Amino acid sequence: MQVTNSPPDLNPSCGWHGTLQLVFARQREATQLMHEYGKAPLKVQRPFYPEGSEVCHSAILHTAGGIVGGDRLSLNLQLQPDAHALVTTVAAAKVYRSNGLEAKQTIQVEIAPGACLEWLPLETIVFNQATYRQEMRIELAPGASWLGWEMTRFGRSARGEQFVAGNWRSHTEVWQQGRPLWCDRQWVPGSKELFDSPHGLAGWPVVGSFAFVGRPVEPDLVEKARALWDSYSGKMTGETGATRLMSGFLCRYRGRSTMEARQWFIAIWHLVRTHDLHRPACIPRVWQLEQRC
């Protein structure tokens, strides 16, 4: 695999153009971060190994503290054969009110045969009047797998803010040998009607998706995921769904709490890891520092 050259800078008055390139490789039964290149405001912390040398945990840091209109963030992650990496973020991402320009994040992922990437960022908080687009494309080689989630809060609901103006788009694609395995397009234009509509947010500010793609899963995995949510009866307030994909598994959440979404997703993550990756879930160290409602 070759590392792409860094893209040119944009005019500073048009926002940040941050880049981050990471290459993971397996050497002597250990996954190592073999190459890293970052340009502000993106950087990666030192890798750590809370579950042994086979899985490399890495945390991405956005040093500017938030995303504004005109920002362009480009991430490129490559996993060489049989590597296993877990990549998360140090803190929740904040997308501020737009200055008239769109903010955009683009993520390109290449996963070689036998490799696995777990993409588990903390939530994104989209302020009212923000304009934001995120695009992620994953190229899977035969025998590779990708596990990822996305959690988004629309508006600073603790302050009573709703997402009634602005625009949010999220587009994720997973491909294997020129064939699409899963394409997911989401669009939430800020409006009071959509915020309250049962076909939109139904008055709930948090949505989330969890996906595992790269290999077929048995129907009982779907039933177990649904049973996990049912076991929270009386404790959770959101709505959820789980279904099989052509080559994988998908769960959705809509509700009031990012902690509630994360709790369910972590339980599903543990289920998938035990069932298909043959190891229990290991909570990244940076999450243990997070305390939010």
- Residues of the chain above pLDDT 90, percent: 83
The phi, psi pair for 163, rounded to 5°, reads -90, 85
- Residues of the chain above pLDDT 70, percent: 93
Q: State residue 234's pLDDT score.
A: 77
Mean pLDDT, the chain, whole residue set: 91
Bridge partners, 137 (sequence order): 108, 173
Q: Which residue in 87, 174, 94 sits closest to 132, CA to CA?
A: 94
Quote the DSSP letter at residue 90: S
Q: Starting from the edge strand earliest in sequence, which strands make up the sheet with 103-111, in order?
A: 30-39, 17-27, 72-79, 103-111, 131-140, 167-176, 179-189
Q: State residue 285's pLDDT score.
A: 86
Identify whether 145 is part of a domain: yes
pLDDT digits (tens, 9 = 90+) for 114-135: 999 999 999 999 999 999 999 9
Identify whether 193 is part of a domain: yes
Identify whether 6 is part of a domain: no
Token pair for residue 210? Answer: 């969890």
Overall domain count for the chain:
1
Residue 4 has pLDDT above 50, yes or no: no
What's the whole-model pTM score? 0.91
Q: 5 falls in which pLDDT band (50, 70, 90)? A: very low
Q: Which amino acid is at 270?
A: H
Q: Note down the domain range covering 159.
A: 16-289
pLDDT digits (tens, 9 = 90+) for 11-67: 345 688 999 999 999 998 999 999 999 999 999 999 999 999 999 999 999 999 899
Bridge partners, 176 (sequence order): 140, 179
**157 vs 5: which has the higher pLDDT:** 157
Identify whether 2 is part of a domain: no
Q: 1 falls in which pLDDT band (50, 70, 90)? A: very low
Identify whether 150 is part of a domain: yes
Residue 87 has pLDDT above 90, yes or no: yes
User: 115-125 in b/e burial notation, b at 16+ Cβ within 10 A?
Assistant: bbbbbbbbbbb
Q: State residue 9's pLDDT score.
A: 38
Say how far apart CA 39 and CA 17 lie, in whole Å.
8
Q: 191 falls in which pLDDT band (50, 70, 90)? A: very high
Identify whether 5 is part of a domain: no
- Cα 143 to chain centroid, rounded: 21
Token pair for residue 272? Answer: 């998938």
Query: Which residues neighbour 133 within 8 Å (Cβ) at sequence distance 6 or greater?
Result: 102, 103, 104, 105, 167, 168, 169, 170, 171
Residue 145 has pLDDT above 70, yes or no: yes
Q: For strand 42-44 and strand 56-62, is the pairing parallel, antiparallel, or unpaired? A: antiparallel
